[in-house]
């Protein structure tokens, strides 16, 4: 029988399991109802709207964006219009909300050939540009998201770009079907950006974009994706919607939506594109993303078997509102304003208003305010709901409710006395209720689909705080474009932003923008220098601290000096903690050898910024530094070898010299005599001779007499010559006393001029040879060239080694000295990073800016260089 103690243990386990079960249920419930953050927005709408800020200015200023038929789509606008609604094949309306540049596109940033761009539906092209901008506005590099599980949900229902053609133009057969199919729209976005989350193109008529948002929220809450794009797009490639609606007499004669107005006489057709980037609120806060607003809840339903498939249904709209509020955990009195469907049709507006009065209009002390962005831009169809969302988010941020145009006298068909609902006939301040700002957005489709979302203003802690300002330091200001014109255009746009904190501007450029083919960096330490550099770039010019280049293919190698000045490193130590830490650690083992410490610390600094070489080549003592950073020795063992090298050399007679001679190897060999030899071959005509003082100087004097350059090196001993023979045995004993490991980075041997094997580098005998034999640096550089290296970084002080290496290669290569003799250390290191970035080396920019205090600020989005892409019907 079970004892009392066993029963007690059983009850404890049961209680623990019940608590765990309850916790899991609570977590699941929280996920199902967690608010969804809007962390990015982008759009195109009538009236020249190219951003959420543009849309806000348009509605805040009460702008009417309605215009005449577009003249860029091969529409026969003269024959299209006829005032008689019964006249076949014509429209009694010739105005609407149009994107007059809908035919324009910049395929270059997306890697799309111009010929293919011609075949792609302009709706899909718009989605690509707007999505790019959404990512940038959210502080995400669009090109860095490849492989991520981001979802894409897009509302779209026109498919007339290809179908309007009587036959495929020459060269386009087989290209138009998929390129113009609505189902491909979301897939093209995912394909272009390399996104692997759930994807769906949604045709729910005029509710499409809100249904897309609803589905995206579901995907986020269920864990199908960490981020989701949602929105919609509409471009009318033909005037068919106007002709069809004219037969139904459903259009306003002037093309304007007079929502809830006594003068309402039908809707106006419009175009646009809008996308939002969504993320679970908890994830957005954890990831440091700015929260523009949150979506508390949403609902989608259908009218069912109502009076007509194409007529709205009041009871279904009321049911929809209550469903959305339930999902948000709110009541009708919690909502301050509704961005209505509000198309301006007599039947639709009256049914919608009555549903609002019956729900939101009851049991409230203050009226529900009612507006419609369609009064500004007309009915943008699959992009309409998301237009209302973007407008409402902006209204929350600015604390203003814009007026609804054309609604000076509310519709007499609505019993406004039945509830507390008022149309926004004038702009007002957002009501101060003591609660978060909350609003709802509606969309009702001709198919009977209804959608409703509940928005809430972001909490103060979710909004990005004003930047505190970064440290006063030389920084890189990184720009790029897929074309030269785009690069210059970006510089022009940025030149007006130089009043921003310089560190914030530099950080935002480096971390939130794509790195494209044409690259430029301004290296500057203050606003005036930044502005001057940007102005140079805008004019297509460069300067000492304004560097430009294009991405180059090829591997990266570090060239490590054998001699580095003992005076360098102080400024780097004071600015970069990683450098200071590595430098201090090496000096603890080698108090007297600053050069080795600088070389190792520079390597660690570049490594911390994400710059890791494919190959290493060390010159003389620099090969010991290369072996250490590649993992052949621990720092303790590397220091033991370096110290032995120096101490043993001090015991030798000081009658040796090393001299650089401008001559070829064969010319020098012909002049050699006893006591002098070749210590290093650095280039085709750069040879270092070393040995007995008198004998070595005689050889140098021979070449000086021929007008060749000669220069004695500042060294205490003639390494790589007969002058070190007396220390080789003892140095070999030290080499045998240390531990070895296989290198983690491929090293080119300066002893053989070829790729070193692990066995060579782990052999004490090799390091004895390395001390005595000629440094075959030029051969090593040529071996790197054979391995496909096109980018060389000189780790050390000065650019002598870089210039020697440049003379040894036959291909176009880039040589970057990290520490220049004529430049302050931090400035030089920053310029080096700029040059590497321009040549396609990936930089860990957040790590580079660590410690500056820099924060993300809003920047102009990519300056698309758009050109016309519009297929013409061969018959036309």
Where in the sequence numbering do the catalytic residues fall?
Answer: 206, 341, 379
Contact in structure between 451 and 204 (CB atoms under 8 Å): yes
Beta strand extents in 694-788 (DSSP E only) = 710-712, 746-748
DSSP for 583-629? HHHHHHH-TT-HHHHHHHHHHHHHHHTT---SEEEE-TTHHHHHHHH
Q: Could you report how far apart the first and last alpha carbons of the chain are, in Å? A: 96
Nearest CA to 682 among 776, 810, 562? 776
DSSP secondary structure letter of residue 270: B
Q: With both helix axes pointing from N to C terminus, report the angle between 594-608 and 635-650 in degrees, rounded to the nearest 10.
A: 150
Question: What's the rounded Cα separation, in Å, for the pair 438 and 393?
Answer: 10
Question: In angstroms, what CA-CA distances link 25 with 12, 21, 31, 298, 329?
Answer: 20, 6, 10, 22, 18
Question: What's the rounded Cα separation, in Å, for the pair 9 and 718?
Answer: 81
DSSP-derived 3-state class of residue 232: strand
Burial 297-328, CB ≥16 within 10 A → b, else e: bbbbbbbeeeeeeeebbbebbbbbbebbbebb
Nearest CA to 438 among 283, 319, 330, 320? 330
Give 209's contacts (C-beta < 8 A, 6+ positions apart). 155, 230, 231, 232, 274, 382, 383, 384, 385, 386, 387, 389, 443
Question: What's the rounded Cα separation, in Å, for the pair 390 and 397?
Answer: 11
- Any idea what the Cα angle at residue 675 is, between residues 674 and 677, rounded to 5°? 95
* Rg of the chain taking only CA atoms, in angstroms: 35
Question: What's the rounded Cα separation, in Å, for the pair 626 and 617?
Answer: 7
DSSP for 285-351? HHHT----EEEEEEEEEE--S-S-TTS--HHHHHHHHHHHHHHHT--GGG--EEE------HHHHHH
Dihedrals φ, ψ of 232, to 5°? -165, 165
Question: What's the rounded Cα separation, in Å, for the pair 19 and 660?
Answer: 79
Nearest CA to 598 among 576, 572, 577, 574? 572
Residue 149's beta-bridge partner residues? none
Contact in structure between 489 and 521 (CB atoms under 8 Å): no
Give 342's contacts (C-beta < 8 A, 6+ positions apart). 257, 259, 260, 349, 352, 370, 371, 372, 374, 375, 404
Alpha helices in 719-772 (DSSP H): 728-737, 758-761, 764-772
Dihedrals φ, ψ of 464, to 5°? -65, 125
CB-hemisphere CA count at 13 Å for 503? 17
DSSP-derived 3-state class of residue 707: coil
DSSP-derived 3-state class of residue 160: helix
DSSP-derived 3-state class of residue 678: strand
Question: What's the rounded Cα separation, in Å, for the pair 511 and 243?
Answer: 49
Region label for 381, one of left (φ > 0), alpha (ψ between -120 and 50) or beta (otherwise): left
Secondary structure, 3-state, 82-143: CCCCCCCCCECCCEEECCCCCCEECCHHHCCCHHHHHHCCHHHHHHHHHHHHHHHHCCCCHH
């Amino acid at each position: 029988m079970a004892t009392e103690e066993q029963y007690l243990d059983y009850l404890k386990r049961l209680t623990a399991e019940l608590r765990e079960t309850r916790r899991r249920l609570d977590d699941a419930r929280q996920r199902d109802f967690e608010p969804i953050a809007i962390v990015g927005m982008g759009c195109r709408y009538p009236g020249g709207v190219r951003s959420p800020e543009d849309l806000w200015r348009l509605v805040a200023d009460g702008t009417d964006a309605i215009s005449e038929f577009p003249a860029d789509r091969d529409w026969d606008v003269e024959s299209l219009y006829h005032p008689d609604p019964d006249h076949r094949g014509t429209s009694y309306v010739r105005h609407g909300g149009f994107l007059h540049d809908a035919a324009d596109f910049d395929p270059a940033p997306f890697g799309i050939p111009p010929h293919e761009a011609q075949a792609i539906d302009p709706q899909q092209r718009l989605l690509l540009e707007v999505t790019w901008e959404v990512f940038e506005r959210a502080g995400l590099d669009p090109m860095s998201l490849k492989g991520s599980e981001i979802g894409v949900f897009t509302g779209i229902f026109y498919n007339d770009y290809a179908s309007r053609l009587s036959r495929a133009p020459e060269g386009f057969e087989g290209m138009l079907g998929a390129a113009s199919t609505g189902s491909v729209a979301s897939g093209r976005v995912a394909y272009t950006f390399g996104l692997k989350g759930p994807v769906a193109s949604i045709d729910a008529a005029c509710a499409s974009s809100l249904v897309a948002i609803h589905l995206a929220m579901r995907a986020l809450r269920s864990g199908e994706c960490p981020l989701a794009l949602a929105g919609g797009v509409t471009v009318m490639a033909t005037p068919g919607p106007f002709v069809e609606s004219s037969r139904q007499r459903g259009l306003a004669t002037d093309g304007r939506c007079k929502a809830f107005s006594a003068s309402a006489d039908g809707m106006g057709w419009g175009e646009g594109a809008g996308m939002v980037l969504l993320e679970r609120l908890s994830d957005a806060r954890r990831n440091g993303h700015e929260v523009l607003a949150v979506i508390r809840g949403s609902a989608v339903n259908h009218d069912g078997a109502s009076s007509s498939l194409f007529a709205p249904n009041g009871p279904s709209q009321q049911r929809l509102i209550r469903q959305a509020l339930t999902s948000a955990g709110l009541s009708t009195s919690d909502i301050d304003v509704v961005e209505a469907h509000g198309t301006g049709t007599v039947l639709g507006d009256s049914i919608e208003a009555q549903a609002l009065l019956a729900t939101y209009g009851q049991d409230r002390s203050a009226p529900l305010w009612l507006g419609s962005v369609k009064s500004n831009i007309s009915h943008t169809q699959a992009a309409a709901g998301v237009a209302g969302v973007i407008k409402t988010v902006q209204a929350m941020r600015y604390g203003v409710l814009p007026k609804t145009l054309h609604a000076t006298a509310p519709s007499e068909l609505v019993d406004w006395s039945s509830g507390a609902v008022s149309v926004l006939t004038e702009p007002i301040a957002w009501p101060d209720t003591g609660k978060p700002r909350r609003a709802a957005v509606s969309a009702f489709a001709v198919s009977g689909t209804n959608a409703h979302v509940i928005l809430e203003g972001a909490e103060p802690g979710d909004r990005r705080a004003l930047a505190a300002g970064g440290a006063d330091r030389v920084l890189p200001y990184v720009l790029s474009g897929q074309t030269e014109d785009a690069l210059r255009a970006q510089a022009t746009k940025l030149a007006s932003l130089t009043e921003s904190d310089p560190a914030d501007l530099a950080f935002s450029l480096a971390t939130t923008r794509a790195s494209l083919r044409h690259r430029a960096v301004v290296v500057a330490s203050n606003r005036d220098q930044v502005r001057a550099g940007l102005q140079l770039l805008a004019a297509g010019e460069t300067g000492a601290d304004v560097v430009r280049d294009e991405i180059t293919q090829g591997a990266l190698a570090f060239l490590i000096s054998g001699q580095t000045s003992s005076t360098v490193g102080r400024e780097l130590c004071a600015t970069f903690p990683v450098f200071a830490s590595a430098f201090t650690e090496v000096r603890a083992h080698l108090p007297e050898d600053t050069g080795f410490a600088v070389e190792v610390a520079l390597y660690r600094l570049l490594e911390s910024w994400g710059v890791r070489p494919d190959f290493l080549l060390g010159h003389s003592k620099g090969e010991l530094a290369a072996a250490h950073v590649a993992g052949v020795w621990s720092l303790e063992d590397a220091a033991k070898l370096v110290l032995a090298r120096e101490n043993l050399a001090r015991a030798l007679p000081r009658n040796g010299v090393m001299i650089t001679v401008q001559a070829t190897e064969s010319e020098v060999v012909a002049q050699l005599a006893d006591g002098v030899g070749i210590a290093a071959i650095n280039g085709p005509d750069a040879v270092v001779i070393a040995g007995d003082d008198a004998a070595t100087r005689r050889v140098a004097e021979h070449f000086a007499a021929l007008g060749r350059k000669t220069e004695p090196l500042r060294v205490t001993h003639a390494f790589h010559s007969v002058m070190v023979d007396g220390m080789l045995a003892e140095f070999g004993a030290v080499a045998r006393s240390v531990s070895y490991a296989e290198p983690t980075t491929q090293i080119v041997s300066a002893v053989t001029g070829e790729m070193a094997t692990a066995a060579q580098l782990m052999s004490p005998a090799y390091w004895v040879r390395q001390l005595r034999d000629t440094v075959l640096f030029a051969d090593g550089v040529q071996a790197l060239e054979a391995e496909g290296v096109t980018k060389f970084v000189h780790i050390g002080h000065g650019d002598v080694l870089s210039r020697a290496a440049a003379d040894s290669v036959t291909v176009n290569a880039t040589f970057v000295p990290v520490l220049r003799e004529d430049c302050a250390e931090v400035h030089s290191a920053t310029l080096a990073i700029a040059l590497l970035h321009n040549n396609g080396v990936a930089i860990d920019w957040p790590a580079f800016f660590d410690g500056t205090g820099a924060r993300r600020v809003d920047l102009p989005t990519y300056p698309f260089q758009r050109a016309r892409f519009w297929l013409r019907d061969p018959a036309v």
